[in-house]
């Protein structure tokens, strides 16, 4: 999976899946634009990428704001000279049962998890179409396929990512642009650590591989989809769950 000379944007790169993905892409030879609202976190990721001998630029910005998205892409174009890979990873959760879910909680999750994917994709696609090449990898969730008690807003946003992925894949296939989604299961991230033990333990028992996934488990799949070895894969929604909810 040689990504030498490729240029990537990774959102939500301050921790978890985003940080692991940025480092993995750099290990494979890519230069990376790192985005997050956590400035300290992306600066740390930036240092790790640079330590691997790759170019990195940290851009603080909110993916749900069009002006911030334009800034992120502009920084990537000016610093790296182009964008070949986009990893839409930024995401949030605002958990509550539907009867207690506020409109603000609903809209906030939709804005980051779904609108952000749309805005970044729309911003990079003209460049990819011009080059007749590109890889877009959207981080969805197994909840987008099976639903989740107390996370209807999160599950709905991630289901939307799957539908968006499949639609855009069809629109841009003729330009040699691959668009795919990854559906992580239980992964050791800050989001997972926020789940109370009484809810987490029963879910753990349902995983055939009997372990929580690591951010690197997802990053490995991202790197494959970002490579030319995955050139015949597009519009896919790939589950990385340890067999959970087979």
Tens place of pLDDT for every residue, the chain, 246 residues? 799 999 999 999 999 999 999 999 999 999 999 999 999 999 999 999 999 999 999 999 999 999 999 999 999 999 999 999 999 999 999 999 999 999 999 999 999 999 999 999 999 999 999 999 999 999 999 999 999 999 999 999 999 999 999 999 999 999 999 999 999 999 988 777 777 777 777 888 889 998 899 999 999 999 999 999 999 999 999 999 999 875
Check: pTM over 0.75? Answer yes or no: yes
Specify if 15 maps to a domain. yes
Quick one: pLDDT at residue 32? 98
DSSP category for residue 4:
T
CB-based contact 69:83 (threshold 8 Å): no
Quick one: pLDDT at residue 244? 87
Annotated catalytic residues are 154
User: Based on the structure, what is the number of domains in the chain?
Assistant: 1
Phi then psi for residue 175, to 5 deg, are -100, 15
Quick one: pLDDT at residue 199? 75
Closest CA to 185 of 169, 167, 207: 207
pLDDT tens for 118-173 read 999 999 999 999 999 999 999 999 999 999 999 999 999 999 999 999 999 999 99
Quick one: pLDDT at residue 246? 57
CB-based contact 38:14 (threshold 8 Å): yes
Q: Which domain holds residue 72?
A: 7-237
Quick one: pLDDT at residue 45? 98
| Complete DSSP assignment for 173-232 | GGGTEEEEEEEE-SBSSHHHHTS-HHHHHHHHHT-TT-S-B-HHHHHHHHHHHHSGGGTT
Specify if 222 maps to a domain. yes
Q: What is the CATH number of the domain that holds 12?
A: 3.40.50.720
Specify if 246 maps to a domain. no
CB-based contact 9:57 (threshold 8 Å): no
Report helix, strand or coil for 122: helix
Specify if 242 maps to a domain. no
Specify if 244 maps to a domain. no
Dig out the tokens for 91 from the structure.
Answer: 């995401």
Task: Give dist(CA 138, CA 9) in Å, integer.
Answer: 12
Task: Give dist(CA 170, CA 1) in Å, integer.
Answer: 25
Task: Give dist(CA 162, CA 184) in Å, integer.
Answer: 12
Specify if 143 maps to a domain. yes
Specify if 162 maps to a domain. yes
Specify if 201 maps to a domain. yes
CB-based contact 128:172 (threshold 8 Å): yes
Quick one: pLDDT at residue 202? 81
């Amino acid at each position: 999976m040689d990504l030498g000379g490729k240029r990537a944007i990774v959102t939500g790169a301050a921790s978890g899946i985003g940080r692991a993905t940025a480092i993995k892409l750099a290990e494979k030879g890519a230069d990376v634009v790192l985005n997050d609202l956590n400035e300290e976190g992306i600066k740390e990721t930036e240092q790790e990428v640079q330590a691997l001998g790759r170019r990195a630029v940290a851009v603080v910005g909110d993916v749900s704001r069009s002006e911030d998205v334009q800034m992120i892409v502009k920084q990537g174009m000016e610093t790296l000279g182009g964008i070949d890979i986009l990893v839409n990873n930024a995401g949030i959760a605002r958990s509550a049962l539907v009867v207690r879910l506020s409109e603000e909680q609903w809209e906030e999750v939709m804005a980051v998890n779904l609108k952000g994917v749309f805005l970044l994709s729309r911003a990079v696609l003209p460049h990819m179409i011009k080059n007749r090449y590109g890889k877009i990898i959207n981080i969805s969730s197994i909840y987008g396929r099976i639903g989740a008690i107390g996370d209807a807003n999160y599950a709905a946003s991630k289901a939307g990512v799957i539908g968006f992925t499949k639609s855009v894949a069809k629109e841009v296939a003729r330009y040699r642009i691959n668009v795919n989604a990854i559906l992580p299961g239980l992964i050791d991230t800050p989001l997972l650590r926020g789940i109370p033990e009484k809810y987490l333990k029963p879910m753990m028992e349902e995983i055939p591989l009997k372990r929580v996934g690591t951010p690197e488990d997802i990053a490995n799949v991202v790197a494959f989809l970002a490579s030319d070895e995955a050139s015949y894969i597009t519009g896919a929604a790939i589950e990385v769950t340890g067999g959970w909810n087979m």
